[in-house]
């Protein structure tokens, strides 16, 4: 089955990362083995510290969910080695039903493409050119279902020469048979002896008992015995040619598994081939792609956690099937093609909801998983000080702490003591940055939570140019940096945009694009709702 990705929002915080891990683990514990935790941004210092502490790897990083070639039901065509015979290629096509097959090099990479038309064209050419050039002996033996008669006395790897079929009177008239010949004959022992004396390049003996003197012959002639009749041998002998001599090799249009279908479609419009080879990350052939495969592409399947806004979600969201949403934010603008399961509760953390889902399904998280989930609740509720925190958040965190055998107070202090003030300003700003569309206004809000805000405030000359540039490039009405100070239980707001908006929304008088809002700890419950009320 195809993987189902569980992913949080862009610039993920601890709740977003842990929610993806915890929910994928719950689904897999219930026997649904195809759920995979994913992320669409880098892991911040706090989250990485917690992952390390409880022994978890960061989820896989998915940069986009756009439909790729690997998501298509492309043909898993057989591919043949370059040395295989034309006869084998034709039989492979007939058995598989594919009219075009890839031809591979020794290492599995693509050499060329062979079509039924190529084989037909080659057959027509052999009517006027009845000569073999460096035809591998192994290929001849295989196609003619034969064996080498004098294999121990005459070691040759290939044969060349003009092909002729010996008639009953040929013994008395061998003038047209030169040494550079490949002669097909039947039960004609005298002729065979004469041809050996002439040391022709190759004799193909059809449906005839082999004499000892032929097997022991030291003549420089390759002798092949076959159970087939002369007519069939005459028709098959040219089919012993290696496919590499006939396949199309020039300017081949190929696609890789990671190529995006949008780009593939554009390329197909510019070319007119029947099908195209598909290669893996090592350029090895895995199948072929035709135009009709693009008609109904298989879409990736996604579960969204800790968000439900398109601007905060993975790139290419319009090309995926959203199966579920588990969130604790306002309902926003994500649309789906069919009814889905949505669980949205007014709690302080997504992991609070997921913990309840563990209980409802009778699954007890492991001590390490419980510790990680408890950490996420502490992080999102700012150690239960955020106004978004509910009794349910506290109860679930305490329940998880008992399973993990950890002290929540000690864990919280360790989390928020992680210093990141020395990191580049842009990295700090984008660490927990979200975009919102409210009425006709587009805004971006970044939140940095810390135990001491002084070091970050002293760096505002670094943050403000970043915010101004972002507002200009994305044509946003307002960009806000929210520095939440746990010890002072409030947040410093620095912003780019209208002073009047901040004044009216929060009933404060800003100075130099800065205000301090006591008891304001939540972007979700205290910043966005106030702006929504103003602009709504």
What pLDDT sits at residue 216? 81
Encoded tokens for 460: 């505002």
Q: Is the pLDDT of residue 263 over 80?
A: yes
Q: Is the pLDDT at 172 greater than 90, yes or no?
A: no
Which burial class, exposed, middle or buried, applies to 434 when counting CB atoms under 10 A from its CB (0-12, 13-18, 19+)?
A: buried
pLDDT surpassing 80 at residue 515: yes
Element spanning 234, H or E = helix 230-236
pLDDT tens-digit map of 82-126: 999 999 999 999 999 999 999 999 999 999 999 999 999 998 888
| pLDDT tens digits, one per residue of 296-355 | 888 899 999 999 999 899 999 999 999 999 999 988 888 888 899 999 999 999 999 999
514-518 vs 276-279, strand pairing mode: unpaired
Instruction: Classify strands 202-206 and 181-185 as parallel, antiparallel or unpaired.
Output: parallel
pLDDT category, 153, cuts 50, 70, 90? low
pLDDT in tens, 249-259: 988 999 999 99
**DSSP string spanning 174-213?**
-TT--SSEEEEESS-HHHHHHHHHHT-SEEEEES-PPPHH
Q: Residue 60: pLDDT above 90?
A: yes
């Amino acid at each position: 089955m195809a993987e189902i990705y569980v992913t949080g929002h862009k610039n993920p915080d601890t709740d977003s990362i842990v929610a993806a891990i915890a929910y994928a683990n719950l689904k897999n514990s219930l026997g649904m083995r195809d759920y995979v935790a994913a992320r669409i941004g880098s892991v911040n210092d706090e989250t990485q510290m917690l992952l390390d502490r409880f022994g978890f790897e960061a989820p896989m990083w998915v940069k986009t969910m756009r439909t790729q070639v690997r998501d298509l039901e492309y043909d898993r065509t057989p591919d043949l080695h370059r040395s295989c015979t034309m006869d084998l290629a034709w039989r492979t096509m007939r058995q598989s039903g594919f009219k075009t097959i890839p031809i591979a090099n020794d290492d599995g990479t693509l050499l060329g493409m062979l079509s039924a038309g190529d084989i037909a064209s080659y057959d027509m050419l052999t009517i006027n050119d009845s000569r073999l050039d460096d035809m591998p002996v192994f290929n001849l033996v295989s196609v003619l279902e034969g064996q080498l008669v004098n294999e121990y006395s005459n070691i040759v790897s290939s044969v060349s020469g003009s092909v002729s079929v010996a008639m009953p009177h040929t013994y008395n008239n061998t003038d047209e048979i030169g040494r550079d010949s490949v002669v097909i004959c039947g039960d004609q022992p005298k002729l065979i002896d004469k041809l050996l004396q002439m040391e022709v390049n190759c004799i193909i003996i059809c449906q005839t008992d082999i004499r000892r003197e032929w097997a022991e012959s030291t003549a420089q002639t390759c002798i092949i015995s076959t159970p087939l009749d002369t007519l069939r041998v005459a028709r098959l002998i040219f089919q012993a040619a290696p496919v590499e001599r006939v396949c199309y090799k020039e300017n081949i249009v190929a696609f890789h598994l990671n190529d995006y279908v949008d780009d593939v479609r554009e390329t197909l419009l510019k070319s007119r081939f029947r099908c195209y080879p598909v290669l893996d990350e090592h350029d090895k052939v895995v199948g072929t792609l035709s135009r009709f495969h693009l008609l109904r592409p298989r879409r990736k399947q996604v579960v969204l956690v800790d968000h439900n806004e398109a601007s905060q979600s993975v790139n290419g969201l319009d090309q995926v099937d959203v199966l579920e949403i588990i969130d604790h934010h306002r309902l926003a603008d994500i649309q789906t093609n069919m009814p889905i399961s949505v669980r949205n509760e007014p709690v302080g953390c997504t992991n609070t909801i997921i913990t309840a889902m563990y209980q409802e399904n009778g699954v007890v998280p492991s001590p390490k998983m419980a510790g990680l989930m408890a950490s996420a609740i502490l992080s999102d509720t700012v150690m239960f000080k955020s106004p978004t925190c509910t009794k349910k958040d506290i109860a679930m965190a305490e329940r998880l702490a008992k399973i993990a055998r950890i002290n929540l107070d000690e864990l919280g202090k360790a989390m928020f003591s992680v210093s990141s003030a020395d990191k580049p300003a842009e990295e700090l700003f984008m660490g927990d940055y979200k975009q919102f569309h409210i009425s006709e206004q587009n805004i971006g809000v970044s939140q940095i939570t810390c135990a001491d805000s002084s070091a970050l405030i002293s760096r505002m000359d670094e943050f403000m140019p970043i915010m101004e540039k972002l507002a200009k490039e994305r044509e946003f009405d307002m960009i806000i940096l929210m520095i939440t100070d746990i010890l002072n239980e409030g947040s410093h707001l620095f912003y780019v945009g209208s002073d009047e908006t901040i004044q009216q929304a929060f009933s404060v008088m800003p100075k130099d694009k800065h205000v301090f809002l006591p008891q304001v700890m939540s972007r979700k419950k205290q910043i966005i709702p106030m702006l929504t009320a103003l602009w709504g």
